[in-house]
Each structure stands twice: as structure tokens, then as C-alpha cells.
Structure 1
Amino acid sequence: MSSNAFTPGIVPARLGGEDYAEQFSDLHPRLDPHEALVAADRCYFCHDAPCITACPTDIDIPLFIRQIATGTPDAAAKTILSQNIMGGMCARVCPTEQLCEEACVREAAEGKPVLIGQLQRYATDHLQEQGIHPFSRAAATGKTVAVVGAGPAGLACAHRLAMLGHDVTVYDARPKPGGLNEFGIATYKTVDGFAQAEVDWLLQIGGIEIKTGMALGEAVRLEQLRADHDAVFLGLGLGGVNALQAEGADKDGVLDAIDFIADLRQASDLAQVPVGRDVVVIGGGMTAIDAAVQAKLLGALNVTLVYRRGRDRMNASVFEQDLAASKGVRIVTHAVPKSVIGNGAVREIEFSYVDDDMAETGDKLRLSADQVFKAIGQTLEGDGLPELEGRKIKVSDTGRTSVKGVWAGGDCASGGDDLTVTAVAEGRDAAMDIHAALTGAAV
């Protein structure tokens, strides 16, 4: 990663001190009790609810909404959390407009779905803020499991295993647990330290030890974990970042978007986070949107997001694209970076326009830029990993890898989309299969 230290134009405190709290306030403020009852009353409580099918964690959505409607939000929370132990975070970051809410009968009939995500947050927040943990551990099995990665997949796996009576040790390369939830999601989506509060709440189940600063292949090795534990789950995410294939990409001011987002999430004072005047973000996923929006919120004058395909091919949802546009982010499509221009530090970046088949049209675009964020995908890192499929660990439907006694899930594993809710589902399901393998219990 290039340094900002000697890059003119990339400076902190572009806004007045009082503006940061407003700029980075909660994207979706929590419903109050009356709003929750009104929203719950719109649910048809469908018997064959399509919203359940659309949820990667199979939450019984009509049931939990009925529980809210009847004044029992803590019961609703337990319904949610029994399927998705990180239901609080997922309520904040899930692309519900593409999942449960898109499938909602109200959406099909009226173009206005039940506010499933906000109702889920209302219930889970109500329970977690009381310090209540509604689950308890089963009798000890005497089995131990190593979980690599304290992100959504790893934590979901660890919690389910602990609940089933196993002892779990979680190894994570970062200085604190949480993974993507802690380091990779826009600040305005998870305000007030929610990610760490959710981890602390989850650990109340007991039987889980977390060891930070322990990267796979460095501080710990897979062979040793297999020897020391009865099973291993790999939920290590994607630690590397794809290289920018453009001349001059090593210039100062060309940065990884994921590092920018992590710096924002860990900053004690947002006014001290430097940002450019003219910012260009390259990519079309959630990370690109989060970086672009936050650069604008920090006071960048011009922010342009450039993607190589059309908007209909962007991984970021339409809601996220519209959010970026509403904050003043310009979105340019069908353009690929060709060269980064400047004397030591970036001053401009040139793109070539391409058609739907990625063939260059001959037209060029040159943008002023003192800061460029790469959000062009992440890669798997680690030595001695199980067999890969493409660029991820090959897994079965239950997360089994090519190595006996080793399971995997989340972003590092093949087959799923890179969403928090999918990672939780894969960690949970792998835990159930690990439990069956270790005890012979039916699942």
C-alpha cells in the first residue's frame, strides 16, 4: 500500500469538527416500538413464505414478525438468532432489497415490502442491549475444534459448536475479532461499536477462546491444528487484494479500498482520517460503494466510481448504487484503468472505454485524482491449504474440504456469494456437520 504521508491534497479535517457525527450517523436509525408494531402489522404471515426461501439462513420471518406484533420482541430475537447468531449485524448490512424483501408478497403487489431488515434489527437490539444470551451450552463432549478466522463464518461456527458442547479455540490474524464486520463495512452502517458489542455478546455462550495475532501459515499451521484438535474449520476470508493492471499503479496515493475502510472503522477521531480532493474508486461491489460514499462523507470534493461493466452487472445492489449517487458520487461504467499519471504521486488516471464484451472502443477518459482506491476483488492467502476450486477452497455442501477433519466456509470457500449472511449460514451448517462427525449424532 502506498503512503499518504507526502501526497499533496490528501489531508485530514476537510470538514468542521461537528459535521463528522452527522455525516457518519446511522444509515437506518432503529425503529421505535410504535414504528415496529406498524411495520409488523403489514406482514401477511404467509404460510409458504417466499421471504424464508430467500433468506440464506432460513429465518422463520413470518414467525418473528408475528412475535413482534404480539409484543414479544425477545422471543422474536430468539427465533432469528437460532438460525443466524449474527442477526443483529445482518439486519444492518444484508442487501435485504435483493433477498427477503425482494421476495416479499407486499413488494410484488405494491412495490413496498415489509421492513424485514429493520424489524430484525429492532428485535435483536432489544434483546442484546439487555445483555441477554438466550442459548446455553450442552453437556461437554470432550472434543476440541480449531476455528481459523474470527469473522462471520468463523464466529457462527464457533458459537454453534460451543452450544453443542465442544470447546473451541478461534485463531485470527487481526488484533481484534470480528473480521469483515469489524474491519470491512462502512462506518455509517455499524455505528457505536456494534460489531465488537455483538462479538462480546456472542461469546457469552462460553467455551470459546479467541487468540488474535495468529495468522495461518505464520503463527499457526494447518498441520499442527489438525494434530492438536479433533476438527478444524477454516473461515479465514480473503486477505489479499488483486493488483491494479495499469501502468503507474505503484504511485503514491493509489490505495486498497479495504484498508481505507478499516482505517475509518478503527479511527477514534474521523477528522484525523486523510482524504483527497479528487478521489477515484475502481470497482463495482459493496467495498467500492462503501469507499466512495465515505470519501464523500469525509469531505472529498469530487468522487468518481469507475466500473468495467454496466450498472446491471455491478455486485453492489441498486440500493447501494442509488445511495452513492445521492451522496454525490459520480458512477462511470464500461471503463477500465490504463495508466496512473503523476510524478511520484498520482495526479490523473486514464481509462479506456469498453463495450459489453470488454473490447476497447477507442474512447478515453482522463480523471483528475490525488487519491485512487482499488476495490477490484480480494484473493485467498495462506500456505498448505486444502484443494482449491478456482481461487477458493473447494468444499462440499456441508463445508468439507479435501483434507480429512478440515471444513471451510465464508468468503474463502467455493460456492457461495460474498455476503455476511451467507458466511454465517456456511459456518453454522459446517458446525452441524462437524458435530455429527465427532459424535455420530444425527443433524
Structure 2
Amino acid sequence: MSNSQLTAGIVAGRTDAEALASNFSDLHPPLDNHEARVAADRCYFCHDAPCVTACPTSIDIPLFIRQISTGTPEAAARTIFDSNILGGMCARVCPTENLCEGSCVRETAEGKPVEIGLLQRHATDTLMAKQSHPYTRAALTGRSVAVVGAGPAGLSAAHRLALKGHEVTIYDARRKPGGLNEYGIASYKAPDDFAQKEVAWLMQIGGITMVENWMLGRKGDGDLAELLAEYDAVFLGMGLSGVNALRLEGEEKDGILPATDFIADLRQASDLAALPIGRDVVVIGGGMTAVDAAVQAKLLGALNVTIVYRRSRAEMPASSFEQDLALSKGVRIIEHAAPAGIIGNGAVREIEFAYTKAGPNGLEMTDETFRLKADQCFKAIGQTLGDTPEEIKIAGGKIITDGIGRTSMARVWAGGDCTHAGEDLTVTAVAQGRDAAEDIHSFLMEG
């Protein structure tokens, strides 16, 4: 957070260190061995398990739960990692209520699903705690692949390619790998530096070199043509670096910034008590990022935090669990309203909103308006791709790929949020990176 964004109402130390430690503790504490066995015994081990179909990485969920129930959590972890090498993080951040647990037969029958996410975490944490990697690389192929982006898609692709015997170099624009997992999710979802621990564990496969502070196309770094000249294939998984604008006069005022920047600053802060936060915080948007920003603002000590979304709560991209979490922390949610004006002299003081309604051509803003006090306003209305090579076909601001990640350019694949198939979910990015890696491997070995 820059100094220019520190206005009179934005101060540090609104909450003491003891309360902050409690506020940002693990959102879902892990199960112990007994609790895991009890939770596993609730599974019906369905033959045509709907939870597997609902999982973007198609983990064999009944199998790994049965392995936990028989006292072999390490085997369960191997079942998970075979499909999802970032299964540890996904167990923490996946919207399971919309995916595997939402499809659980127990959820349909009783309204209480098997705790698949917690069981997955129990298994993966057990194996990762042994500090040894369960996979061994295949014989070296002599082929090399460049991966642009050290987020979930890039890490997943890199691990699968290294496992197949290829040499992989990951290039990332930030100083630490992890992408969304490191910079883009709420601290209480993955405390204790788990994102970096997971990357270090993944890198034990060998054959992966990490290059940090390197951006595709930036002068002094390199472009796509140079990568293709040096490597046999390239995988693009750089996520979304830009932020959509409100397109309102005064958007440049102090106190208005992207929610992603706020979350990244918070995730990298060494002392949360020193992190400035406003008294009256407004978050514009309705996705997971909006909720993460709003909840963390409240946990830091903001007195009034309001999420404003242009459509109904039922239409919010954030899951019902995330919405309920926000409400439970004292965040207010206003629906059917869109930003119409920014009021303040140099720094934001209020945000004006107009109520919305459905019209013949889509959503329309009405003449009925209201204002919210705001000394800090976080924009969470979507992200953009940023600069991309001209040779790659783009549609709707994202890279076009086929079903297995191939782009319009030979020897170039892509996956994750930077593509049209991205869903702003770690688990989807992992699946796309994995599947693209399999196709890259087939291409390299045939070639």
C-alpha cells in the first residue's frame, strides 16, 4: 500500500496483536486421526460417486476416504496427488460446498455432506509432514519446457512435465512463487506460510528451475519468440495481472485501490498490526476476492465494512458459505446496486451508488441513489490479462485454447485464469496445467 493511499481515516493498530492472531488463525482447523476416521466412516463409497464428477481434477474421492478409514492416510494422499499435486492447498481453499461436498449423497439426503475437504487436508498434510516427495522422475528425455507463471496452473504443469523426465524452467514476475495461492487468497485460509511450504515440497521432484522477477515481454527479460528458440515447448500460466476499472471520475483518488493489491499486501505483511486499514471500508464486487478483502478488512479492525454488488446475492460469484462467513464477521452486503460516483477532495470520502434493475437489454441503473461513507474502497470487479504476444489469439480478454490447452501458436500451451477456460479457482487451474502437460509430453515424445 503506497503512502499516497494513507488518508486520515486509514491507520494501523486498530486491533491489538492478540486479537489479530485469533482473527487470522486457521479457518478450518485440521482433523486429528480419530476425527478423520470418524468422518471417513460417513462415506457411502459410491460406485458412481457424484463427488468425483464434481471435482475439476477428478480425484478418486471414495478411494482416498476408504484409505483413511483403514488407517493409511499416506496412501490416501498419493491417490489425491496422482490427480492434483496441489491437493494440500485445494483442501484449504476449494469451494467444496459448490463442488465435491455440494454433490455428496449425504448432502442431498441429510443436508450434511461428508467432510471431503478436511479429509483431503488430513491425508495430504500427513504425507507432506514426512518431508519426502512420493514421486520419482522418469528417465530424462532431453527435452525442455518453459513455464511462464508460478501459480497453480504453472506449478501443476511443471511438476507433471518434470515427472515425465523433461527439464522445466518456471519464469514468474513476482519475487515468490505460488501465484494466486501466495498473493490472492485470505490469510486465514492458508496460514503458517503453507503456500511456500507446498511449493518447496513440490520442487523436490527435481528437474525444475525457478526464475523469479521475470515478466514475459518486459525489456531485459524475454519474449515468446526467445523462449521458443530456447525451449521445445512453452506453457503460459501467468494468470491475470490487470484490474478492471470502475470508469468513474475520481477513481484515482487516494484510498481507492484494487482488492487484489490489498490482499497481496496483507499476505506479505510481517506484522498485521502495522497494516493500515480504514474506518469505513467499501468493497465493490461479488466474488471470492471481494469477500476475502471485506472479511480481512473487518478482522484488521475496520468499523464498518460493506460489500456492494450490482445483482442479487443469489447471483454473487462468491459461494453461499463465503457470503455467510462475511455476514458472521459483521460485513454488510448490499445487493442490486452499482457505483455511480466518487466523492472526496483528493481522497475518497463517500461512494455514490445507484440501485439496479433488470431491463430489456440487461442490467440497468435506476435514478434512485444512496451514498456510503468510505475512507477506503477496494475494487473487486474482475481482472484483465495484461500484455500478451500478438501471435496468440485472444477473445474476451483471455487466451483462446482448445480442450487440452493448445493455443493458436505452435508449441505454445496455456492454462488457468489467463485462458477463456479459467474459473478463478485453484483446482481448475491445477487441472488445466496437468492436462496441458500431458499433451505437451505426448507432443514432445512423438516429435
Q: AA paired with 2:89? A: M
CA distance in 2, matches of 1:276, 1:7: 8
Write out the 4+ residue segments of structure 1 that deviate beyond 4 Å after TM superposition.
1-6
CA, structure 1 residues 4+16, in 2 after alignment: closer, same or farther (shift >3 Å)? farther
Secondary structure of 2:178's counterpart equals coil
- The answer to whether 1:289 aligns with 2:294 is no
- The answer to whether 1:333 aligns with 2:338 is no
Q: 1:245: Cα distance to partner?
A: 1.8
Tell me the residue number matched to 1:257: 259
Q: Is the 8 A contact 1:235 1:410 kept in 2?
A: yes
CA distance in 1, matches of 2:272, 2:241: 25
1:402 to 408, 412, 422: 408
Q: Counterparts in 2 of 1:85-96, with a 5 A limit? A: 85-96=85-96
CA, structure 1 residues 4+21, in 2 after alignment: closer, same or farther (shift >3 Å)? farther
Q: Is the 8 A contact 2:5 2:255 kept in 1?
A: no
CA distance in 2, matches of 1:312, 1:87: 29
| 1:332-379 C-alpha deviation (Å, 9 max, x unpaired) | 011111111111001111000011342222211100010000001000
1:374 to 352, 374, 379: 379
Q: AA paired with 1:421? A: V
Tell me the residue number matched to 1:412: 418
CA distance in 1, matches of 2:2, 2:371: 21
Q: Is the 8 A contact 1:389 1:414 kept in 2?
A: yes
CA distance in 2, matches of 1:5, 1:254: 7
Q: 1:151: Cα distance to partner?
A: 0.1
CA, structure 1 residues 285+6, in 2 after alignment: closer, same or farther (shift >3 Å)? closer
Q: Is the 8 A contact 2:6 2:255 kept in 1?
A: no
Q: Counterparts in 2 of 1:284-433, with a 5 A limit? A: 284-357=286-359, 358-385=363-390, 386-433=392-439
CA distance in 2, matches of 1:306, 1:227: 48
Tell me the residue number matched to 2:47: 47
Q: AA paired with 1:433? A: D
Q: AA paired with 2:184? A: G
CA distance in 2, matches of 1:4, 1:319: 35
CA, structure 1 residues 121+260, in 2 after alignment: closer, same or farther (shift >3 Å)? same
CA, structure 1 residues 200+109, in 2 after alignment: closer, same or farther (shift >3 Å)? same
- The answer to whether 1:194 aligns with 2:200 is no
CA distance in 2, matches of 1:114, 1:323: 20
CA distance in 2, matches of 1:9, 1:187: 24
Q: Is the 8 A contact 2:310 2:337 kept in 1?
A: yes
Alignment coverage as a number of residue pairs: 441
CA distance in 1, matches of 2:5, 2:67: 53
Q: 1:133: Cα distance to partner?
A: 1.0
CA distance in 2, matches of 1:94, 1:30: 15
- Which range moved further: 377-386 or 422-431? 377-386
Tell me the residue number matched to 2:79: 79
CA distance in 2, matches of 1:384, 1:278: 41
Q: 1:17: Cα distance to partner?
A: 1.9
Q: Is the 8 A contact 2:90 2:427 kept in 1?
A: yes
Q: 1:25: Cα distance to partner?
A: 0.5
Secondary structure of 1:79's counterpart equals helix
| 1:390-422 C-alpha deviation (Å, 9 max, x unpaired) | 211000101000000000000001123221000
| 1:289-311 C-alpha deviation (Å, 9 max, x unpaired) | 00000000000000000011111
Q: Is the 8 A contact 1:2 1:255 kept in 2?
A: no
Any stretches of 5+ residues in structure 1 without a counterpart?
none
CA distance in 2, matches of 1:383, 1:415: 17
Q: 1:3: Cα distance to partner?
A: 4.4
Secondary structure of 2:323's counterpart equals helix
Tell me the residue number matched to 2:103: 103
Q: Is the 8 A contact 1:176 1:212 kept in 2?
A: yes
| 1:160-204 C-alpha deviation (Å, 9 max, x unpaired) | 000000000000000110000000000000000000000000000
Q: Is the 8 A contact 1:246 1:340 kept in 2?
A: yes
Q: 1:238: Cα distance to partner?
A: 0.2
Any stretches of 5+ residues in structure 2 without a counterpart?
none
CA distance in 2, matches of 1:247, 1:281: 18
CA distance in 1, matches of 2:2, 2:355: 27
Instruction: Note the aligned Cα RMSD (angstroms).
Output: 1.1
Q: AA paired with 2:397? A: R
